[in-house]
A and B are shown apart, each in its own frame.
Chain A
Amino acid sequence: MSVQHVKIVKNVLAGNDQTAERNRARFNAAGVLAVNVIAAPGAGKTSLIVKTMAALGARARVGVIEGDIAGSIDTEKVLAAGACDAVQINTGGNCHLEAGMVQRALDDLDLDRLDIVFVENVGNLVCPTHWALGEQLKLCLPSTAEGHDKPIKYPEIFAVSDVIVLNKIDLSELVDFDRDFFYKAVRALNSHAPIFEISCRTGAGLSAWADWLLNQHPHLDTKTERLHHLSGAPGM
């Protein structure tokens, strides 16, 4: 019997990352823009999805994968608000979604009939950050009511996000939100992600956000034409 020290050098989450790549390939093949929505509980993830669908109107067909520890309240909300399709994932206590959960959810979504899929992660600013799901856009949704120091306390999500949507902008004065402090901290962590200030309650900023989102879709025009060609319907 002998003891050996064996060098390996392997990413611990390589298995999750491989599954995420397969999910991304499915989204890409179907011409779907997938958005991983990460926020603290109560920041307004479901409200953002509902209001974004309204702002997009007929310009995009939206599907939603809802990640929650338990229940299906959010799935019912997004379907009532006009989502074309929605699938609920109950993590049973897990604090984040993993690529394998999204992979199984994709079997229940008809991606060919969708343009944008929001994946609403479990409310948490830490754990979901580290698990790739196969999304093309990672969205961080802080809200003014949580305080301007969130980028200092939870730097990683701000560092790795492709876009930051700051909700509850209508409350900023009431909650003493220090805008300069927030922007300075975010820009130290992430120099490139666009920041949208919105209010799901008043509707402020939502149309600019929805327009930007639509522009991130790589080939919405081509896909819409292809679908119309297949169904024989005239263009919108």
Chain B
Amino acid sequence: MHELSIASYLLESVEAQAQELGAQRVLAINLVAGERAGIVDDALQFSFDLLTPETLAEGAHINVRRTFMRFHCAPCDCEYSPKVGNFSCPDCGAVGQLTADGTELLIESIEIET
């Protein structure tokens, strides 16, 4: 439940950008949130809505694009997403190595009214 903290950083960033762009209102925020960033989308929107009254971002909708945790299997030389509770390669059963995928927490773009 760190979404309230994340929402406050998100609001600070988005407001600064919106002001710089001369926006009247922020309509939407497009986020990339990796599985490994541990964000619950509804909790983030809920927290954001608590913080935004009387700001440029009041009522803005957060659209989340999810990226996923991946492993690399050396014997098969392939990448795979793990099944729940199991990090093994679905093809050969070897335990792969975690890749860097799924860690992002980025503001990709915003939709503003000018």
Q: Is the interface of A mostly helix, strand, loop or mixed?
A: mixed
- The complex places the Cα of A152 from the Cα of B27 at a distance, in Å, of 38
Q: Are B95 and A6 in contact (CB under 8 A)?
A: no
Scan B32-47; emit 1 where CB is below 8 A from any A CB, else 0. 0000111000000000
Q: Are A185 and B87 in contact (CB under 8 A)?
A: yes
Scan B1-35; emit 1 where CB is below 8 A from any A CB, else 0. 11001100110110001000101100100010000
B100 nearest CB neighbor, chain A only: A159
- The complex places the Cα of A79 from the Cα of B49 at a distance, in Å, of 42
How big is chain A's contact interface, by range?
A: 35 or more
Given known contacts A8-B17, A13-B105, A155-B36, A190 and B98 CB-to-CB distance under 8 angstroms: yes
Q: Are B96 and A188 in contact (CB under 8 A)?
A: yes
Q: Are A188 and B87 in contact (CB under 8 A)?
A: yes
Q: Is B97 an interface residue (CB 8 A)?
A: yes
Residues of A within 8 A of B5 (CB): 94, 96, 98, 131
Residues of A within 8 A of B38 (CB): 126-127, 129-130, 156
Of the candidates B12, B36, B111, B113, which one forms a contact with A159 in the assembled complex, judged by CB atoms under 8 Å apart?
Answer: B36
Residues of B in contact (CB 8 Å), total 36
A158 nearest CB neighbor, chain B only: B98
Q: Are A127 and B1 in contact (CB under 8 A)?
A: yes
- The complex places the Cα of A156 from the Cα of B98 at a distance, in Å, of 10
Scan B85-98; emit 1 where CB is below 8 A from any A CB, else 0. 11100000001111
Q: Is B109 an interface residue (CB 8 A)?
A: yes
Q: Which residues of B contact A (CB under 8 A)?
A: 1-2, 5-6, 9-10, 12-13, 17, 21, 23-24, 27, 31, 36-38, 69, 71, 85-87, 95-98, 105-114
Q: Which 9 A-B pairs have the closest CB atoms?
A: A127-B2, A188-B87, A188-B95, A7-B109, A12-B105, A10-B107, A8-B107, A156-B36, A189-B98
